[in-house]
Chain A
């Protein structure tokens, strides 16, 4: 079946601009995670959704970052007033129900802030 998909694959923006990154999880997966991966590092947790609600947003670096999942499927990560330090690959993952299920990752969105 279809895996996790993310759009766009690449996004180049200017400092101060607003960006939206989209994630389509595997159909039927109720748990959705966003991670950020900087060059040469492992993914770092940003936010976790169980259904429509953000159950844990403790990894969001500051209030410029926000994410939604209004219908419990597609999720959008929103970054306001982008800074050069936001440049990274943003990965989305989904799992069947959370708990200790395997997380399946999308291909990521490479964000570059000039």
Chain B
């Protein structure tokens, strides 16, 4: 089955700097990769996603890149703000007929004002 690894586990950046979180996956059949932001005690919220037929996707300050050959994808946040502080999870949708998500272990991002 699918396995997703995520790095780093914690990341501190100064306000206004960029943050990059990286994930690798094992199953080359996976085709859908969402990113979720989870604030303390809250539900995971989708912030951006990418499908395997696309190499990059941007939404304002957030972008995701996908390298299918290397089986890795990354989240890029530019011009970080204190409200970006949260735990970020990457996931891969397992191509097993159920399309359940296999999540990474999360990255705790702290944006220092």
Contact = CB atoms under 8 A, between A and B. Distances in A.
Q: Do A and B bind each other?
A: yes
Interface stretch (A63-71, A77-85, A101-109): A101-109
Interface string A2-24: 00100000000000000000000
Interface string A28-47: 00010101000011111100
B61 interface: no
A105 B100 contact: no
Contacts of A99: 99
Interface in B77-110: 89, 91, 93, 96-106
Interface in B33-82: 34, 36, 42-46, 49, 51
B89 A33 contact: no
A100 B99 contact: yes
Nearest to A107: B43
A45 B42 contact: no
B103 A98 contact: no
Contacts of A35: 101
Interface of A: 4, 31, 33, 35, 40-45, 48, 55-56, 59, 91, 95, 98-108
Interface of B: 6, 31-32, 34, 36, 42-46, 49, 51, 89, 91, 93, 96-106
